[in-house]
Amino acid sequence: MSRFYVSPESVKGQKIYIEKEESHHIIDVMRLSRGDSVTVFDGRGKEYEGAIASTENKKVSIDILKTKIKDKESLVNISLAQAIPKKDKMDLIVQKATELGVKEILPFESARTVVKARGERGKHKKERWDKIAIEASKQCGRVELPKIKETVYFDTILDSIPKYNLTVMPCFSKKAVFLKGALKNKAKKLFVIIGPEGGFTDDEIRRAEEKGAVSVSLGSLVLRSETAAIATISILNYELQ
């Protein structure tokens, strides 16, 4: 059964009115028509099974046949703070972090971040990342979309550390412990901070550790920024679920 995303505001009574972009996907790409069965989710935990009621004027409406309120998708609440890497690597990180169940993605600029994504430029990037998260959620069966925040500076990320039970930061620090060793308290609300291609500066590592972040090692090999993000989230999911 085909699966589509709508905003919660598109659900009115026992009807769903599909936005223009998804209507195009339903009619012109998937070639669905009146009477076809579809699954729709609203990004906030609700999923609907229904049938296409109308495709007139390239606008799709759906009759709701069944509503499901999904249980929490993961027992582990992971937020990812990601220094924005070059080119389109952030697209991959958003896609895979969504598939791995991350609840929140916080892009940031640090001392060695090459890409600048604040202001108007950052707004366009966030719109792109939101779309990628929606497509990844449609594919992997998520009903809750990850919240993607506006790009901030590293100092703002440091100020967020006290909100979490445990913050881990893969980096080359003399205090670094293996990731598994940092999980003894089985914290359920975790913060993962991943640096840029050039890594964190010594000063950034020191300030993060002073705020309570645990410097961790992912092994003896040097990982790309996007690989470090995916590996860390995967290990946390395995160890804590």
Taking the domains of the chain in order of start, what are their residue ranges?
Answer: 2-69, 77-240
- Alpha-carbon torsion, ordered 85, 89, 90, 91, to 10 deg: 160
73: pLDDT strictly greater than 70: no
32 with 38: CB under 8 angstroms? yes
**Distances from the Cα of 104 to the Cαs of 71, 170, 192, 209, in angstroms?**
18, 18, 10, 22
Mean pLDDT within 30-46: 93
Name residue 156's amino acid. T
CA distance 146 to 127: 13
Q: What pLDDT, on the 0 to 100 scale, is given for residue 72?
A: 63
CA 127 to chain centre: 13
Three-state DSSP at 82 gives strand
Mean pLDDT within 23-33: 91
Q: What pLDDT, on the 0 to 100 scale, is given for residue 93?
A: 98
Which option is the CATH number for 2-69: 2.40.240.20, 1.10.8.420, 1.10.357.10, 2.160.20.10? 2.40.240.20
- Using 50, 70 and 90 to split pLDDT, how confident is the model at 61? very high
> Hunting for tokens 């890594």 — which residue is that?
199
CATH number of 77-240: 3.40.1280.10
Tokens encoding 164:
């979490």
CA distance 24 to 35: 17
Mean pLDDT within 95-101: 97
Q: Is the pTM of this model over 0.75?
A: yes
CA distance 22 to 237: 31
Strand 46-54 vs strand 61-69: parallel, antiparallel, or unpaired? antiparallel
Buried b or exposed e, range 203-234, using 16+ CB within 10 angstroms: ebbeebbeeebbbbebeeeeeebbbbbbbbbe
Q: What pLDDT, on the 0 to 100 scale, is given for residue 54?
A: 94
